[in-house]
Amino acid sequence: MTVRNAVIPNGDETRETDIAIVDGRIAAIGADLPRDGEEIDAEGLLVLPGAIDPHVHFFDPGYTHKESFPAASAAAAMGGVTTVVDMPDTSIPMATDGETVRAKRDHIQKRSLIDFGLFGGVSGLLCDDKLGERMAEMAPLVLAVKTYATSGADFFPRVNDYQYAQVMEVAQKNDVIILVHAEDPDYVLPATELADKSSNSPLDFYRTRPELAEILSVLTVTEVARYYGTQLHIVHLGTTRAAEIVAGMDNVTGETCPQYLQFDCDDFERIGAPLKITPPVKGPNEKAQLWEMLADGRIDYIASDHAPGTVDEKNTGSIWTDYSGIPGCPVVFLYALSEGYLSGRLSLSRLVEITSARAARRFCIDDRKGSIALGKDADLVFVNTEETTTYLAAESPTQGKVTPWDGMKFKGRVERTILRGKTIYDSNSGITGQEGDGAFLAPAR
């Protein structure tokens, strides 16, 4: 296969070239490549590396009434995403040792339209004398290991400070990255207990998990990681000060999400449950500063934290019991393209970094993913920068229909998505990929 007339990134500029694809990998990049087999004309389109969404909850297997890999991966492909990394705790079995990781991998392998990696998990219940054994089993299979400083689920309880010391020490010995959902339990739990539950105000929910709750947690876990020399990653940063702490450390990275860049607590009060997430969106002053930090590299990349709830779960009648989570994978790349690059907040090279290259490096899959380069997987997204996309949840394959993104208009349109040389989405034909097209990604540590 040969892609003709592709306009690809060349630093912050672009260059027009042909791309030859052999056995799913990029075999040549240059002008006037020999004709050999199928050809795709990319005239007038910007061709970028397929996006990586390194933080999703696709709820499969176990909770497929909420979401599934066939539905979510199809929606991802429509949005230019060719690789996702799925979280460990929102599936049955939870991915917490070698056996459960392999079982989840084998199940998803038959169902995903796109490539996928897995995160393992450690909860407070698993910080026992088998912790080292479990970590060693997972290390060759998972891209990192997820923990919660504050957990909203009884089945996957938080890791306390003493347990974090155990986890960090064992992770360092096994060359494993630890992920942290950073909200301080000594703030969140008492604040939630004392909150006036008769109030149905989203602002009251936000006040139980404000900026300070994130800052205190990040201060603690980064110091534990510094002590043991452990590689640490903070997920879904929504607070500038917390992001500054992360940026100041050599062994710690961080991500933010489109929802923290687009919405704030005033929007939460207006929109209500469709925007309820944990950590919640923060004060109005955070958004512009988070954009600046994402643009200059102090925040490493962007991820969706895709975690839809059903219509009933998102509409219980109380903000305190409404499900906390939103679908985001279908728009994460479009959002970065539209509100980042095409709106002038991001350079072209930074767009590539935050949507694919940086996550690929962080999780040791950059031997295959993250750039348009010789020998890399031919994961490509073809973008018409002159058109627009209106995201309509009813028309997306995802099962997540309750979303603050519904009806939002984005600059740019995904015309085609290619996974390892195969077209899995085309704007004229729709989804052309099949369940089982996706491949499992283990880290190349």
The predicted-structure confidence for 406-420, as pLDDT tens digits, reads as follows 999 999 999 999 999
Q: What is the mean pLDDT of the chain?
A: 97
As a dihedral over the C-alpha atoms of residue 409, residue 43, residue 40, residue 31, rounded to 10 degrees, the angle is -140
CA–CA distance, 310 with 155 (Å, rounded to integer) = 20
pLDDT score, position 42: 98
Q: Does pTM top 0.85 for this prediction?
A: yes
Helix (H, G, I), strand (E, B) or coil at 104: helix
Helix (H) or strand (E) segment spanning residue 13: strand 13-22
CB 404 within 8 A of CB 326: yes
Percentage, residues of the chain above pLDDT 90: 98
DSSP state, residue 22: E
CA–CA distance, 123 with 158 (Å, rounded to integer) = 6
Q: What are phi and psi of 86, to 5 degrees?
A: -95, 140
Question: Which two three-digit tokens encode residue 302?
Answer: 């962007």
Helix (H, G, I), strand (E, B) or coil at 88: coil
pLDDT score, position 154: 82
CA–CA distance, 225 with 178 (Å, rounded to integer) = 9
The conformational region for residue 379 under phi > 0 = left, psi -120 to 50 = alpha, else beta, is beta
pLDDT score, position 32: 86
Task: List, in order of start, the domains of the chain with CATH numbers.
Answer: 50-373+389-410 (3.20.20.140)
Query: Helix, strand, coil % (nearest 5) of the chain?
Result: 35, 25, 45
**pLDDT at residue 183 greater than cutoff 80:** yes
115: Cα separation from own chain's centroid: 13
CA–CA distance, 140 with 132 (Å, rounded to integer) = 14
Question: Which two three-digit tokens encode residue 345?
Answer: 């907040």
**pLDDT at residue 152 greater than cutoff 80:** no
Nearest partner of 443 among 366, 358, 377, 354, judged by Cα: 366
Helix (H) or strand (E) segment spanning residue 99: helix 98-109
240-281 pLDDT, tens per residue? 999 999 999 999 999 999 999 999 999 999 999 999 999 999
Q: For the residues 140-145, what does the mean pLDDT come to? A: 98
CB 82 within 8 A of CB 323: no
186-212 pLDDT, tens per residue? 999 999 999 999 999 999 999 999 999
pLDDT score, position 153: 77
Question: Which two three-digit tokens encode residue 338?
Answer: 């539209």
Identify the burial level of 320 via C-beta atoms within 10 angstroms of its C-beta, where 0-12 means exposed, 13-18 middle and 19 or more buried. middle
CB 93 within 8 A of CB 66: no
Residue with tokens 């899995």: 424
One-character DSSP codes across 296-329: HTSS-EE---B----TTTT-SSSTTTS---B--H
Distances (CA, A) of 307 to 7, 57, 98, 113, 203: 34, 5, 24, 18, 21
**pLDDT at residue 310 greater than cutoff 80:** yes
DSSP state, residue 68: -
Percentage, residues of the chain above pLDDT 70: 100
Question: Which two three-digit tokens encode residue 369?
Answer: 């993913």
CA–CA distance, 109 with 94 (Å, rounded to integer) = 16
pLDDT score, position 445: 81
Output b/e per residue, 272-289; b: 16+ Cβ within 10 A: bbbbbbbbbbbeeebbee
